[in-house]
Amino acid sequence: MYALVFICCVPGFVRLDGIQQGLMATGIVACIGATCIMLGADIPMYHARSRGNRLRGEPCLGIADGFHDTLARRVPTGEWSV
């Protein structure tokens, strides 16, 4: 998703000037930053969780089971500590 936004921002950056070009530059930098966070933190975290679950013998959910789990697991608490 970030790559698509980045690809759309680059032509805008080239064609625009002034404040609009600055906004496009901000969007490009934000896309690069978000991609770095995803590659450096999110993907390794999910990979480690998946590996830990496999080592404990916990089964992976299928698409239908995962969809049902997302619907059933949501319990609004209003707490920030959850």
Q: What is the per-residue pLDDT across 30-71, written as a single tens digit (0 to 9) for each? A: 989 999 999 999 899 989 988 998 999 988 888 998 888 888
Residue 67, in any domain of the structure? yes
**Quick one: pLDDT at residue 37?**
92
Q: Assess whether pLDDT exceeds 60 at residue 82.
A: no
User: Is the pTM above the cut of 0.75?
Assistant: no
Report how far residue 35's alpha carbon sits from residue 3's, in angstroms, rounded to the nearest whole number. 8
Report how far residue 72's alpha carbon sits from residue 82's, in angstroms, rounded to the nearest whole number. 16
Domain that holds residue 49: 2-73
CA distances from 67 to 39, 46, 61 (A): 25, 18, 9
**Quick one: pLDDT at residue 36?**
92
Q: What domain count does the chain have? A: 1
Residue whose structure tokens are 């080239």: 14
Residue 11, in any domain of the structure? yes
Residue 15, in any domain of the structure? yes
Report how far residue 80's alpha carbon sits from residue 41's, in angstroms, rounded to the nearest whole number. 21
Establish how many alpha carbons lie within 13 A of residue 46's alpha carbon, considering only the half-sphere containing its beta carbon: 7
Residue 81, in any domain of the structure? no
Q: Assess whether pLDDT exceeds 90 at residue 75.
A: no
Residue 79, in any domain of the structure? no
Residue 78, in any domain of the structure? no
